[in-house]
Amino acid sequence: MSLLGLLFFSEGAEAAKGPLGLPITVWQLANLAGFLGALLYFVARPITNLFRQRQLDIAKRLADAERQRAEAARLEVQIHERLAALEKELEEVRVRGAADGESARAALLEQAERDAETVARSGQEQIARRLESAKQELRVLAATLTAKTAGDLLSSEIKDDDRRRLLEDSVSRLRSGAR
């Protein structure tokens, strides 16, 4: 108040008086106060509202960023879990594939052994059949040669008298057999 009083009284008696008889300094002060009030009303409020809105937008963006960060962290955990599950499944597939391959190999070996036994048995049977056939051919050939040799031997040693006697024996046997 001392500043106001000093301004008020410093002008002296001859100072210009404004409307309503008040000194110009009072009117200047009132004018300054009105200007500052209008400035506060028309400028400060919108700026305050602008800053408040900006603060709300920043808070909203910050909340969105936190939500997105949490979502990213959740997705990262989910991806790591999926990768672990895929690695486990891949290992199971490898183990299963190795086991299947081993069982298939064993089955193929077993089948090959059975096939080899079948081929060997078939070969033995075929050899036995051919051997028996060869023996039979040899028997037939031996019998034929023996008969031919016996026939040649008989025909060279049998004389006409022996032939006549054999013929008569054969005829008498036929007659006795026919009765």
- Cα(56)–Cα(61) distance, rounded to whole angstroms? 9
Contact 158, 166 (CB under 8 A): yes
Q: How many domains does the chain have?
A: 1
Name the residue range of residue 7's domain.
2-141
Q: Measuring CA to CA, which residue among 150, 125, 120, 128 is closest to residue 136?
A: 128
The reply to whether 167 falls in a domain is no
pTM: 0.39
The reply to whether 165 falls in a domain is no
Query: What DSSP string describes 138-172?
Result: HHHHHHHHHHHHHHHHHHHH--HHHHHHHHHHHHH
pLDDT in tens, 19-60: 788 899 998 999 999 999 998 888 888 888 889 999 999 999
The reply to whether 63 falls in a domain is yes
The reply to whether 13 falls in a domain is yes
Rounded average pLDDT over 132-147: 87
The reply to whether 127 falls in a domain is yes
The reply to whether 112 falls in a domain is yes
**Identity of the residue numbered 161:** D
Please provide the distance, in angstroms rounded to a whole number, between the alpha carbons at the two ends of the chain: 186
The reply to whether 124 falls in a domain is yes
